[in-house]
Structure 1
Amino acid sequence: MKASRENDFVYQAVYRYLTLLIEEAGSSSAVRLPSLRQLADRLNVSISTVQYAYSLLEKEGRVYSIAKSGYYAKALPALDVPGCGRDLLETVYVNTQRPGMCVLSADDPASLQPLDRPLLMLERELLRQYPRQPQVLVQPCGELELRTVLAARYTSSTVNCWHADDVYIGADLRGVLEILISVLELRGATVVVESPCDWVILRLLDCAQVRVIELPLLAGGVIDPQRLESLLKNEPVRLILLSSALSMPHGSLLSATNRQAIAHLLGCHGTWVLENDCHSELDEGVDSQRLRDWLDPDRLLVFSTFEKFIGAEAPFGFVLSRHWRSELQRHFLLRAFSLSLIRQKAIARLLGGGRLDQHLSVLRRMLKERRTQLIQLLRERLGDALQFVEPQGGATVWVSSLRPVDMENVFQRLLKQQIIIAPGELFSLQGLHAHHLRLSSLGHGDHDLGNVVGLLGDALRMAPES
């Protein structure tokens, strides 16, 4: 046992040494690393120990090997900062993929407790039960068992009920939203969205040349009914996009009174509603009603994804709609989504068998513990600089600076220290939320969270006013 532990320490030391070599190389071209024998001699360890450390880095995608040549560190994109030719969102995405970065903004709740292993175990069992099926049985709108389970999960009454034919499953959420934009003919149309809004949704609408009107959430996550009514009266609103329960990244829940008032107003104007249900499974008020429970189901579409609460092995997006059946079927068929029927069946068993609900109970508790830790640190160290919304679920915390600082300067300063934040301007197309940030404690890796929060505080205090 003692020898085993010592060997563990040795390979970890070699791994750390190689990591430092790679980071020091930091080149835009591939860099050759020491051979197994060279490194073994240099560090006075066995060749097998060096080989194991290299294999770990290879699995992480940080090195690659060429037969009869050796190991090479992968070329890294240059460290990007705002104003260097890429927009801010691209800068965030590029640098998030860099090894060694502390991502203080990750919204990947399932990474804390993924359901990958149970899902893959179910899939293996199903593969034994269901031999490979002929191509004629391919279902372009999704596997029937999964659509049936989803329809039942979303049915809450005899009025608010769904059937398998109302459910459409795509390869990912982005593809499903692109189909909705086409089917609803939103190009050039006016769409109202609550703000802040997910940047994926905003970018898709913007790329499709949709005229977006942002409806900022008030304190406590309230939607202003008077402002909304004014928009509905004075603008040619084709559609309104609202959260079903948990509004992310804000982290708030609509009160029952506000929810009913908004639903009544939309019903009076006959407004079509596209409900974002991506985060509602992470809502800690699990018994709270969804916005759709108060809406006319014949003027409603709902979209969501499994990825937020199951994990990367279940990236599928889906939409529920009672209308545009032929158009939706045609678009899903044209997309020719290649979806694993067995994977979909496995997800259906997770949803229908109660395994998912048990998992969600644990995941919500773990997310709350992480958020509580982050909020406590923010209060202790940045109470004089930040104000934040007390989140009701999810993985992130929405904060605002108490003075109007230049968040681009804050972002750039932290980026140079290998820390990624998500400035509030990413969640608006119209320059809203310039003094806000989305923060999370999920992606800090081996970095000490207290130290990272301290660096954030330094960057905020040193940033010039905007």
Structure 2
Amino acid sequence: MKGDKQADFAYQAVYRYMINLINEVGTEARVKLPSLRHLAERLNVSISTIQYAYSLLEKEGRVYSVAKSGYYALPIASNTPCCTAGDLLERLYVGARRPGMLVLSADEPAQLLSLDAPLLQLERELVRQYPRQLQPYSQPCGIWELRAALAARYTHSPTRCWQADDVYIGADLRGVLAILIEVLALRGAAVLVESPCDWLVLRLLQDAGVRMIEWPCNEQGRLDLGYLQQQLRTEGVQLAVLSSTPGIGTGAALSLADQAQVARLLEHAGCWVLENDIHGGLEFEAGTRYLRDLVNPDRLMVFSSFEKVMGPEAPYGYLLSRHLSTQLQRQFLLRAFRLSSIRQRAIARLHHNGRFDQHLEQLRDLLKGHADAMHVRLEQHLGGRLTYRRPQAGATYWLRSTEAVDMRRVFQNMLARQVVIAPGELFSVSGLYQQHFRLSHVASTHHSLDLVLEELAQALKQGQHG
């Protein structure tokens, strides 16, 4: 593969190889796939190229990872009964890749409108323009053009500004966060995490031995500032992992005044802030203020990815940090992410020529329209069984049952109906949100969504305690 003149696309060949390998598995038991290192040696490519291909497969639900064990595939025939044993997240992944399933558990805004086609078209033009790699994998933190484009995008004033050297680009969000956890030496440290929180972030922190302190939403779906103040005062919190617009995941984002109060509390506690900007730019209303505009810029780092906005052809994760440059550069160099320089240039061009902003505006309008349509359906079919706040951004609803239910049973009953939902406990490490679940409002489907929601109402009724 290294001799292929289209070496930038080696991960695509690895991806096709892995698809064939998975399809050859002739058992219904879970099957451990070759390690990153073994596959890299077998296919004569870098480990990061293998990791990139695996991350795409994991997003598609074809493989799943187990901490300190590796990657697994579980081919399931369409008539195989639903799995009822094992880790809940594993069961969700397995269910999501069964043939004919309606996956309403995912958070994939770009499913409505991706930039895959413009990205690949621009990439082909750049391949003709640059027949040879001008910078063949010599920039372990990403190519300068894309780093500069991101630095410019996040700069809003002379005091809240970023340079290209402050930006680090990795193969995917998982790889970038793993490096950050290593550099910050978070094992055993007290880290405050906004809750509910994405399960990728939770599991990475959990596997790293981080002492997570959850800042949960209350019964009204709002974040309690008094609870935050108490935890900062008593728990010796070193780092806070918060969304760029705190509370956006529950549909009840903090007001600007509350965000300012959060910034003051964090500054008074001397706490570092790691802002999760994965959904940045996907707010339905213009003029949203982000946490990074209010907190002390000297104690701020930001992470995000392109995938939520652009689609699966842009899976790169990135980090912005003015600090720890020597340690971060060393870790990115050791990881040796072998990223496509052509694809990075194509993403940078989309930022420079305004196509990215145009796409973002169109995507926001589509997301709002789908969220409004789902609200009407929820009120029609589940109005008495659920409480929720209409989302202010993104592709999902955060829902709570009005009756005490066994949400795992609801989850399993919906699997039997070929529908996948995400139980709320997946978004907590301390058993919170047993009565909640996440539901996508953008899933493309041949199913009748009205019928699916009626089945969900029935599953909630069957899942009631007592």
* TM-score, reference length from structure 1: 0.82
Aligned to 2:40: none
1:171/1:228 CA distance change after superposition, 3 Å: same
Letter in structure 1 aligned against 2:274: L
Cα deviation for residue 99 of structure 1 reads 1.3
Cα deviation for residue 341 of structure 1 reads 0.6
Letter in structure 2 aligned against 1:76: A
Larger Rg: 1
Aligned 8 A contact 1:194 1:214 in 2:
yes
Pairing 1:176–2:176 present:
yes
Which residues of 2 match residues 23-42 of structure 1 at below 5 A?
A: 28=28
Where 1:308 maps in the other structure, the secondary structure is helix
1:359/1:135 CA distance change after superposition, 3 Å: closer
Where 2:194 maps in the other structure, the secondary structure is strand
Aligned 8 A contact 2:76 2:98 in 1:
no
Pairing 1:322–2:308 present:
no
1:135/1:357 CA distance change after superposition, 3 Å: closer
* Aligned mates of 1:239, 1:381 — CA distance in 2: 42
Aligned to 1:96: 96
Aligned to 1:10: none
Aligned 8 A contact 1:388 1:399 in 2:
yes
Letter in structure 2 aligned against 1:183: V
Cα deviation for residue 296 of structure 1 reads 0.8
Aligned 8 A contact 1:371 1:440 in 2:
no
Aligned 8 A contact 1:246 1:279 in 2:
no
Aligned to 2:264: 264
Equivalent pairs, count: 398
Aligned to 1:344: 344
Which residues of 2 match residues 289-328 of structure 1 at below 5 A?
A: 289-328=289-328
Aligned to 1:144: 144
Which residues of 2 match residues 441-460 of structure 1 at below 5 A?
A: 441-443=441-443, 445-460=445-460
Question: Which stretch of structure 1 is more off in the superposition, 276-285 or 122-131?
Answer: 122-131
* TM-score, reference length from structure 2: 0.82
Cα deviation code 1:169-222 (max 9, x no counterpart): 000000000001000000111111011000100011111111111111246654
Cα deviation code 1:368-391 (max 9, x no counterpart): 122222221110111111111210
Where 2:310 maps in the other structure, the secondary structure is coil
Cα deviation code 1:258-314 (max 9, x no counterpart): 000000111111110000000011112231111011111110100000000000000
Where 2:215 maps in the other structure, the secondary structure is strand
1:247/1:337 CA distance change after superposition, 3 Å: farther
Which residues of 2 match residues 107-256 of structure 1 at below 5 A?
A: 107-133=107-133, 138-218=138-218, 222-245=222-245, 247=247, 249-256=249-256
User: Gaps (5+ residues) in structure 2?
Assistant: 1-25, 30-59, 63-74
* Aligned mates of 1:248, 1:100 — CA distance in 2: 31
Where 2:179 maps in the other structure, the secondary structure is helix
Which residues of 2 match residues 360-379 of structure 1 at below 5 A?
A: 360-379=360-379
Aligned 8 A contact 2:250 2:398 in 1:
yes
Aligned to 2:10: none
Where 1:275 maps in the other structure, the secondary structure is strand
Where 1:329 maps in the other structure, the secondary structure is helix
Aligned 8 A contact 2:82 2:416 in 1:
no
Where 2:458 maps in the other structure, the secondary structure is helix
* Aligned mates of 2:414, 2:61 — CA distance in 1: 24
Cα deviation code 1:301-360 (max 9, x no counterpart): 000000000000000000000000000000001111010011001001111211111111
User: Gaps (5+ residues) in structure 1?
Assistant: 1-25, 30-59, 63-73
Cα deviation for residue 251 of structure 1 reads 3.2
Aligned 8 A contact 1:246 1:392 in 2:
no
* Aligned mates of 1:266, 1:90 — CA distance in 2: 35
* Aligned mates of 1:463, 1:408 — CA distance in 2: 8
Which residues of 2 match residues 401-440 of structure 1 at below 5 A?
A: 401-440=401-440
Cα deviation code 1:95-137 (max 9, x no counterpart): 1011100112221111111100111111111112223126666
1:444/1:112 CA distance change after superposition, 3 Å: closer
Calculate the aligned-residue CA RMSD, in Å: 2.1
Aligned 8 A contact 2:303 2:319 in 1:
yes
Aligned to 2:77: 76
* Aligned mates of 1:61, 1:271 — CA distance in 2: 37
1:287/1:243 CA distance change after superposition, 3 Å: same
Aligned to 1:40: none
1:79/1:336 CA distance change after superposition, 3 Å: farther
Cα deviation code 1:379-424 (max 9, x no counterpart): 0111111111210010000110001111011111111111111010
* Aligned mates of 2:242, 2:412 — CA distance in 1: 32
Letter in structure 1 aligned against 2:174: R
* Aligned mates of 1:89, 1:153 — CA distance in 2: 35
Where 1:237 maps in the other structure, the secondary structure is coil
1:157/1:221 CA distance change after superposition, 3 Å: farther
1:210/1:80 CA distance change after superposition, 3 Å: farther
